[in-house]
Structure 1
């Protein structure tokens, strides 16, 4: 079959059978830029929120690239069917292995074979839960391919054949993978060098050391009878840092016992200690 064109942001992609395969737009294109390729039934929903704020400016600057690949174009028959009833019976529909396989082949063009250099991820509620460590791993790769699911899921055979990693945002179900894909990309892209502009921000924020971020304050110093903690106005940076660390530990212990245990293990501390925070 003729491979359908894909839509891109930060560049224009043509039909894979045509030449040249890519054309430049007025946005700069850096040869080493990190790239995301998203397979979706709704390519018009991208870049969505990724086109705004820091990620949007970085996209415009060519620090990363985003290409959407319309799954419907790889469908079967006149109506471009992409799904079928589940084997063994049951409610709903399942994305077909042959259709998804063709889309993954198209997305793989020009990418490294190593999944470490270019992960292929299916956004799935049964996947491993996405976290900051995963975002750091993805940002260190050359790029990523994301498969946005719909209906009851994807034929397991194509996930196995293409070594697709399943990733979940949490213990809840969305109608499709597009929102999850944008959240994953936002968390990942902001870790790419020069995107944030202040690398210290990424190093000091929540989860960087298994801790939630400390509480933040700004002007006015007095609002609705509530004052900024006096220590933050002292100008004593050593005491301020200690206060922030204590606050981060307190919040983590109270709200995320799982992170607290990981933090204590990393620092040789007893998570059940009665230390006053």
Structure 2
């Protein structure tokens, strides 16, 4: 019997003036397949449809002057209310550079919310009264500025969805970077040799225990070189301490320091 995942389904309502942008995730790849399997559901609300002026504009000048425009309060408010009527217990998230920075452990907690409304800001942002009275959480995907919240919403939808049972294989998730505070080990595929570059012989040996040890050592080493901050969060096993020391010694000998 085909397994059902209705008990783990997550519903997303996205408030955006550019719903077409989301075709990049809803029609392709893993997220597209998850939608077809009805594991996740994504709907869109365009504030322009709630604008009461004949031009369907959704921006206005900020009080006090200053550069740029803000999203108009009323169309955005009405779109949020419509989204809330569809998802009764939803968490409303505003994508903002002022929000809490998204980390892997945050994503795992967001799955439990089941129903999420994303507000994608545009222009210079949204009216503070919306943030104060309608938004439950503010999230940022990094310390940089985007032209709108759509790309950030796509990142969050993708990162949340892939952890839902049935979207991708459980083993793939367990071996993800950041899931255990280690970066991935180097990976290789066919051909064995190309342009005088060879696949490490250990990976061709068929010795699964030695391959596991090699991969773990490389993962530890890559993390030490590229993201030492992650190692500080991880309690290393005795095996991992030995392998990391071996990697460090060889790396220093190779690079003369």
Q: TM-score range by the shorter chain?
A: 0.7 to 0.9
Asked if 1:151 is matched to 2:127, the reply is: no
How many Å separate the matches in 1 of 2:204 and 2:174?
23
Alignment check: 8 A CA contact 2:224 2:231 kept: yes
Give the aligned CA root-mean-square deviation in angstroms. Answer: 2.5
Deviation digits for residues 199-238 of structure 1 (CA, Å, limit 9, x no counterpart):
1001111111111111101122222212211222222222
Alignment check: 8 A CA contact 1:136 1:188 kept: yes
Q: 2:179 aligns with which of 190, 208, 222?
A: 208
TM-score (norm 2): 0.84
TM-score (norm 1): 0.78
* Residue of structure 2 equivalent to 1:142: 114
Q: 1:275 aligns with which of 239, 242, 245?
A: 245
Total equivalences in the alignment: 240
Alignment check: 8 A CA contact 1:119 1:138 kept: no
Asked if 1:245 is matched to 2:221, the reply is: no
Q: Where do residues 32-51 of structure 1 align in structure 2 (5 Å cutoff)? A: 33-51=9-27
Q: Where do residues 16-165 of structure 1 align in structure 2 (5 Å cutoff)? A: 33-113=9-89, 118-165=90-137
Asked if 1:234 is matched to 2:210, the reply is: no
Structure 2: tracts of 5 or more residues without a match: 248-257
Q: Where do residues 178-197 of structure 1 align in structure 2 (5 Å cutoff)? A: 178-196=150-168
Higher relative contact order (CA 8 A, sep 6+): 2
How many Å separate the matches in 2 of 1:32 and 1:209?
23
- Kindly state the Cα deviation for residue 76 of structure 1 after the two structures are TM-superposed: 4.1
Q: Which has the higher helix share?
A: 2
How many Å separate the matches in 1 of 2:60 and 2:83?
22
Task: Evaluate the alpha carbon distance shift between residue 225 and residue 68 of structure 1 in structure 2; reply closer, same or farther with a 3 A threshold.
Answer: same
Alignment check: 8 A CA contact 2:8 2:165 kept: no
Q: 1:262 aligns with which of 233, 238, 251?
A: 233
Secondary structure of the residue that 1:152 maps to in structure 2?
coil
Q: Which runs of 4+ in 1 moved over 6 A?
A: none
How many Å separate the matches in 2 of 1:29 and 1:221?
40
